[in-house]
Amino acid sequence: MSPKLKEENISELNLLDIIPVHNTKWKQDSKGQVILFKPKFKNPLFVKYILPHMKRPYYKITLDDIGSFFWKNCNGSRSVKKIAELQKERFGDKVAPLYDRIATFLQTLERNGFLKLS
């Protein structure tokens, strides 16, 4: 069971120890930015019968350079602390305040089902 980053559980978790893992389809465009694919339907009947016949069955969410860098480093073996250190090396003061920014990013991705947290 993966921890949820909800307000009632946030005090129980150490953000730096969490290991994020991808939970959705994604691809990298020619500029190196990550595009996440979110299915338009979650209902199993819609997924089985309607999605295959749609021209665009997914919403496409394009991450910026910082988000794309973080996403590409979520490989299931790196902790948030290690990814944050890499991000700080790469982007410097551009990512300040680093941990607040990462916490918000993780909450958003986890809430929308793009990441699993372990």
The pLDDT value recorded for residue 57 is: 85
Whole-structure pTM value: 0.80
Give me the residues paired with residue 38 across strands.
59
Provide the 3-class DSSP secondary structure of residue 82.
helix
Q: How confident is the model at residue 1 (pLDDT cuts 50, 70, 90)?
A: very low
Provide the 3-class DSSP secondary structure of residue 88.
helix
Element containing residue 86 per DSSP (H, E): helix 80-91
Output the six-digit token pair for 12: 């129980």
Is pLDDT of 104 > 90? yes
The pLDDT value recorded for residue 76 is: 87
Is pLDDT of 26 > 90? yes
The answer to whether 14 and 24 are in contact (CB under 8 A) is no
Residue for token digits 């794309």? 68
